[in-house]
Amino acid sequence: MVSPTEASSDDSEQEEVPKVLPPEAWRPCPDPKVFKDLLLEWRCLEEADTVEDDEEEARHGVGERSFVRLFVEPQPSEHCLSAPLGAVEFFLGEESGYQCIQEESSDTRPPQELNRLDIPRWLTEAALCLRFAGAQGRFRSREGRPDLIGEHHVRLIAVQRGSDLLGDGAILLRQLRVGSGPRPRDAATVRACWRAWFQRNLELIFSTGDPENPAEAVEVVIDEDEVMAALQLGLKHLKAGSRGLLRVSADWGIGQLLPSGGPTLRSAAIWIDICMHEVQNPPLPGELQDLQSCLEFVEHRKVQGNGHLANGDAASIARATRRYEEGIAALAGLKEAPASAAALLAALRRNLALAHLRRGRWADAESVCSAVLQEGLDSKAFFRRGAARLGLEDFDGAVEDLREALGLASETEVPAVRRELAKAQARRKEWQQGQRKAFQGVFDKMTLQDEAWEKRQKEAEEKAKEEEARLLHEQEREKESLAPSTPEVAETQPEEDNITAKVSAMVEPPASGAIEPEQDEAADFRNVTLPKRPQETGITALMPPPGARISQAPPKVENYQVPSFLRKKQQKKPCEPRVLWSVVHNLALKKGMTFNRRFVISGFELPRTLGPNDRQQSEGKVTQQMVVNEYLLAPASSDA
């Protein structure tokens, strides 16, 4: 019997059907998500019974770390003689966890340190393979690797949602119950209950009361520094109706546990049980339709921001920045803003610029001040934009803004503006001196090149003038020599003919044709005298001999072109344009130099320089932005 595959044509392409493995067959585990060097294979023994829509799945990713409870039992073999782990619980990705006394436990208390034990790394990958609570399977190492010895039976008992609030494992949140209410935003007012324990011995530190009793809840404003930062992060990640267990490391266990003061911790590793009862979020910018309520909201944000800005620490300045930005966003949502709203918006922007300056965000401060100055002149905006440009090392712009601020400042503001202006001018002078020293060789070389170019141009012009004068002189001499030569030829012609006739009469025989006998005496030519011809010198000596026919000069040929094989090929060097980039803003323009444009370079680095014997002469310097002027130079000649 021939199979359908064998009976098919050779030309037809057969689609490869993937092999479907039975559930009880061994299969490779998916690519490791946490521990990349592990190679495992597993066999599914039982899937989860029913998976609801809200069923929690084991996850590990950015900001996510599920808290799982597993039952682990090794299969007896000659290679695996280890004792069973039993029921363990841990955050995925960690190599330590806790032993569970009971497999099914609803206790909300944190685990004890006495029950801590090491967790094999492969258990994290096993939990990610099983995914849902109720699933179980067997796992072993693949390709004879020593990652896992023998076979192990793993059952996933429970999965709870977990969050890594900072991304480094310092603050982990395990959600015991997920509520359906809103999640708090910045400046939200929440009512919650919590209690805290030390991790080392589970000693109770503080408790607001029964966590499930809303009457004992405490009111807290998020992001107002009323309680410790770790507790604020935990409250911000819980929805209304949720309950969670927060694990805080010693680095973050700092601060007070109550808005009114209460216990204050210093570098304490703790557990905090939080139960969120109510969340009241502040209105969004589009939700404030009433003008009066919008102005009250913005004024409240301004007061909050000013209070945080007065504290001076980095966290308070960051909170002040957020409050000012919330107020600006609320005013930007108004369709028709009165004059009072415009003045309030300018004040918020000036304060926001000050907060950016204290955080070292120079570019943000400059943009905010520029927005204020678009609406009109403002001394504080000019002053703070000058300070921002000074931080960006735009010294010309900083000096210009500070001079404007000095002209608009009041009597109380003048001393501060003058101090800042003097500081900017001193830094600009120091910077210019450094730039001149760094680029002095470049300027000297350019000056020498310009002088050499001018000298070559002058020599070429003088040579051209000399050649033109020489040609004119030769033409004049040729005209003078040709004028008297023609009549001299006409006068000497008859005299030469007479001499020729006399000589012929002495040599030729008689006309009768008879041959006479030889005479005794030969003919004497010594008595014949030839006339003296004038001595010819100069151009006259080059004239043709007497009797020669002198033809007229050939006619001039117009538009005559030299044949291509006689032409001398001249390879001209292309004149490339020259560009000079300078960070010196008061550079004196030289001959052939024109200003083209000005632009900003981000991330400019000035490397440190070394002097004799490799001694450090100047420290390296890195700036965020630098203003550069571009100049165009006259192109060099082909001889250059």
The pTM (predicted TM-score) of the whole model is 0.59
d(CA 117, CA 119): 6
- Is 252's pLDDT higher than 50? yes
Tell me the mean pLDDT in the region 43-71.
85
The token duo for 506 is 């002495």
Q: Write out pLDDT tens, residues 102-124.
A: 766 666 788 888 889 999 999 99
Percent of the chain with pLDDT over 70: 72
The domains found in the chain, sorted by start residue, are 27-160 (3.10.50), 171-280 (3.10.50.40), 290-438 (1.25.40.10)
Question: What's residue 639's pLDDT?
Answer: 43
Does the structure show a pLDDT above 90 at 2?
no
Q: How many C-beta atoms surround the C-beta of residue 94 within 10 A? A: 15
More confident position, 400 or 443: 400
pLDDT for residue 100 = 86
pLDDT at 138 over 70: yes
H-assigned helices in 376-522: 379-391, 395-408, 414-438, 440-482, 485-507
pLDDT digits (tens, 9 = 90+) for 151-202: 889 999 999 999 999 989 999 999 999 999 999 988 899 999 999 999 999 9
pLDDT computed for residue 18 by the predictor? 47
- pLDDT-derived band of residue 235, with 50, 70 and 90 as boundaries? very high
Q: Let me know how long the chain is.
A: 640
For residue 542, pLDDT beyond 70: no
Write down the mean pLDDT value for the chain: 79
Report the distance separating Cα 218 and Cα 261, nearest Å.
13
pLDDT band at 640 (very low <50, low <70, confident <90, very high): very low
Report pLDDT digits (tens) over 585-630: 667 777 778 878 887 776 666 666 666 666 666 566 666 677 778 8
State the Cα angle at 636 between 633 and 640, rounded to 5°: 145
Closest of 91, 57, 283 to residue 169, by C-alpha: 91
Residues 6 or more apart in contact with residue 598 via CB below 8 angstroms: 627, 628, 629, 630
Residue 330 — pLDDT band, cuts 50, 70, 90?
confident
Reported as a pLDDT band with limits 50, 70 and 90, residue 278 is very high
Q: Under a CB-based contact definition with an 8 Å cutoff, are residues 301 and 327 in contact?
A: yes
Of residues 380 and 225, the one with the higher pLDDT is 380
Average confidence (pLDDT) over 23-32: 81
